[in-house]
Amino acid sequence: MSFEFLRPISQELVESITSLHKATLGKKVMLYSEGNFPDLSNVKIAIVGVIEDRRSVKSEKIPFNYDYIRKQLYKLYEGNWNEQIADLGDIYPGETVEDTYFLLKSVTEDLVNRSILPIILGGSQDLVYAQYRAYDNYGQMVNLVNVDAQFDLGDTEQALCNKSYVGKMVVNEPYNLFNYANIGYQTYFNAQEEINLIDKLFFEAYRLGVISNDISLAEPVMRDANLVTLDVTSVAVASVNPAMPNGFTGKEICALARYAGISDKVSSFGLYEIQDLDLTENSAMLAAQIIWYFIEGVNFRKKEYNNSFLRDFTKFTVPIEDEYLIFYRSELSGRWWVEIPNSESFNNKLNKQSLLPCSHQDYLDACNQIIPERWFKAYRKNQI
C-alpha cells in the first residue's frame, strides 16, 4: 500500500473544522486524521500535500503551511456536487529527494488506477516529474498542460530541478510524453532557444497576453490533457506574489482551473510552488479557490470522451488542400473535436480513434482553407 507513508492532517485543523457550518467543504470531505484513514471505496477526488523543495533553484527555503490553505478551503461552501472528496494528508520529505519522488509517483499511480483524481499540493515544481512518472504503466502516451510563465525545459545534462523537469520528461525513458502545452508563458522569462525548441518538437505554447485576451482559447488545450499542473507564481496578484508584476489575475487562474476540472481526460491535477506564496489569508484563499474551481469543474464533466461518444456527435467533413479534415460537434455540450489520421508505420500508443479537442473557430478556419495549428502539430507528431 503506497498510502502507509502519508501523514495525517494536524489535530489543530481537525478541531478548527468542528465549528464550521454543516454545508461547508470541511464537513463534507473525508479527512485522514490520526488513526482514521478514509475508506476510499466511493472517493473520486483526493487531496495530497507533498512537502519538498530541495531541488528548487532558489536559495531561500520557505516553511510549508498547507494547513493554512486547507483552513481557507474548508471554510468554503460546497457547490451542487456529487463526487466524494478525501483529504489524505501529506507526504513528508524522504531521506533523499528521489525517495520523495518515489512516494509521490506511487501514491499518484495508485489513486489513478483506482479512478480517483489526485489534487497535489506541491512544493518545488520538479515534483511534476514524479507526477508524470505515475503514468509509466498507463498504456498510452500522455499530454501535459502546464500553466506557467516559463517552459522549465532547462539543461537536461544537469540534475533534475524545478527549472528542468520538462526537459527531463523529453529525454528520459520511458518516453511517455506525447504533447506538452504551456499556457501563459512570458517571453522575457524564456531563452529564445527554448522557444525555438518548443516549436521544433511540435509542442504548444500560448503567451500570457493571448490567453488573457481570450481565456476560452485554453479550454480545448485543457480538454486534451491527462495531467494539468499549475505554478502559483504565474499569478500576478500583488498581495499573493509581489515578485510577479505580470501574470494571470485571480479570476483568470480560477477559470483555467475550472477548464482543467471539466476535462473528461484529466486524471491528476497539481498546484506547485505553494511555498513561495506569501503566508497571508488572501494568498491562501486564492489557492483554496483555485482548488474549489477545479473540483467544481470535475463535478460538471459531460463524460463525452468514451467509447460510445460518437453517438451524440454530428460529423462535418471539410476538404482542405490535399486533406479531408473530419470535425465532430457534441450535441451535449456544443464543443468541437477534429480527427487526427493515424500513422500506419508508427505505434505512438495513442487511442485508435485519435480526436483532438478544438474550437468552433478552428472549424470555421478550415472552411476558409486555413489549417488549424493544433491539428497540424498533432498530425506531424503522429508521423514522427
**DSSP bridge partners of 231:** 272
DSSP per-residue string spanning 236-249: --TTT-TT-SSSB-
Alpha-carbon distance of 186 to 159, in angstroms, equals 25
Would you state the cell numbers that stand for residue 66, as one nine-digit string? Answer: 498547507
Instruction: Give the model's pLDDT for residue 17.
Output: 96
Query: Over the stretch 228-257, which tens digit does the pLDDT of each residue have?
Result: 999 998 998 765 666 778 999 999 999 999
Chunked into runs of 10 residues, the chain (384 residues) has average pLDDT values of 87 95 96 94 97 86 84 96 97 96 97 98 96 95 97 93 96 95 97 95 96 97 97 80 84 97 97 82 91 98 71 90 90 92 53 80 96 91 74
**DSSP bridge partners of 30:** 86
Instruction: Give the model's pLDDT for residue 32.
Output: 97
Instruction: Give the model's pLDDT for residue 241.
Output: 67
Output the pTM of the full model: 0.94
Would you kindly state where each structural domain of the chain is located, as residue ranges? 2-299, 309-383
Instruction: Specify whether domain 2-299 bears CATH 3.10.20.340.
Output: no
Report phi then psi at 171, rounded to 5.
-100, -20
Alpha-carbon distance of 131 to 227, in angstroms, equals 8
Alpha-carbon distance of 74 to 292, in angstroms, equals 10
Question: Around 156, how many Cα atoms within 13 Å sit in the side-chain half-sphere?
Answer: 11
State the burial class of residue 206 (Cβ atoms within 10 Å of its Cβ: 0-12, 13-18, 19+): middle
Report phi then psi at 59, rounded to 5.
-75, -30
Instruction: Give the model's pLDDT for residue 351.
Output: 47
Torsion angle, alpha carbons of 257, 262, 264, 269, to 10: 20
